[in-house]
Amino acid sequence: MIKIQNLNKFFGDKHILKNINLEINDGEVISLIGPSGSGKSTLIRCINYLEEPTSGSIYINGKNIATSGKEIDKIRQNIGMVFQHFHLFPHKTVLENITLAPILTGQLTKIEAEQKAIDLLKTMDLLDKKDVYPSSLSGGQKQRIAIARSLAMDPTVILFDEVTSALDPEMVGEVLNVMKELAKTGMTMVVVTHEMAFAKQVADRAIFMADGEIVEINRAVDLFEHPQNPRTKEFLSKVLEY
């Protein structure tokens, strides 16, 4: 379980996250929606300490992730993240991209990591790409490799930060399908997205953020069909009218 308590984040004098409190259960899929600049990315980047909270605490399975120590390093390693711009290593092959972290952290031997990468590539239908470099892949393929790379570490949770926003429209579906399948496996997922159909249909709960605050949180279907807060209603009326 992820527990976020009284989380605040400032950039300079700008108060970006304002007293966020949130609990995410194991196996839950959470979609995080809201206007540009509302703090969605900053919030998920705080969960894995890519951004250090200014104040407040984040607990993963009861352990404060800010605490140093070997056990905490391991917990942090098991929070996967997939980014809008893939962040694959350009000078490594697809297979090397996937095996690098489990080998470097000592989680798997080289042979184990390669077997795991091959299994993951099979499920992504990308085994034929194992020896190529990322530059020869389409955006959708790169993003599926980025998801496979994250899965190679056996994460307890994966954070998705607008992972389809940089893709050509025809490639969005293939990445969302991989995420849908992952959701069915019981993976805990926090998904910042502008894909409203995904946010409504795949997520268990949806969160609407505005101005650094959680304005509304509810079962995803209910948040979309019966928004309670006027700001949620206004946002949804704008994004759903197309």
Ligand X SMILES: Nc1ncnc2c1ncn2[C@@H]1O[C@H](COP(=O)(O)OP(=O)(O)OP(=O)(O)O)[C@@H](O)[C@H]1O
* 75 vs 189 by CB, closer to ligand X: 189
* 86 vs 97 by CB, closer to ligand X: 86
* 79 vs 108 by CB, closer to ligand X: 79
* 16 vs 113 by CB, closer to ligand X: 16
* 138 vs 165 by CB, closer to ligand X: 165
Nearest-angstrom CA–CA distance, 235 and 220: 15
Amino acid at 89: F
Residue 33 C-beta-side C-alpha neighbours within 13 Å: 28
> Contacts by 9-14 with C-beta closer than 8 Å and gap 24+?
9/39, 9/42, 9/46, 9/51, 9/53, 9/54, 9/212, 10/54
Min dist CB 111 to ligand X, Å, is 40
Min dist CB 240 to ligand X, Å, is 17
Distance of CA 219 to the CA centre of its chain: 19
Nearest-angstrom CA–CA distance, 43 and 94: 30
Nearest-angstrom CA–CA distance, 33 and 158: 17
Min dist CB 45 to ligand X, Å, is 7
* 95 vs 198 by CB, closer to ligand X: 198
Q: At 4, phi and psi to the nearest 5?
A: -110, 125
Min dist CB 100 to ligand X, Å, is 26
Distance of CA 205 to the CA centre of its chain: 15
Q: Which residues bind ligand X (CB under 6 A)?
A: 11, 16, 34, 36-42, 162
Nearest-angstrom CA–CA distance, 122 and 136: 19
Cβ atoms of 80 and 157 closer than 8 Å: yes
Residue 37 C-beta-side C-alpha neighbours within 13 Å: 3
* Torsion sign across C-alpha atoms 62, 63, 64, 66: negative
Q: Which two tokens stand for residue 203?
A: 């997520």
* 34 vs 155 by CB, closer to ligand X: 34
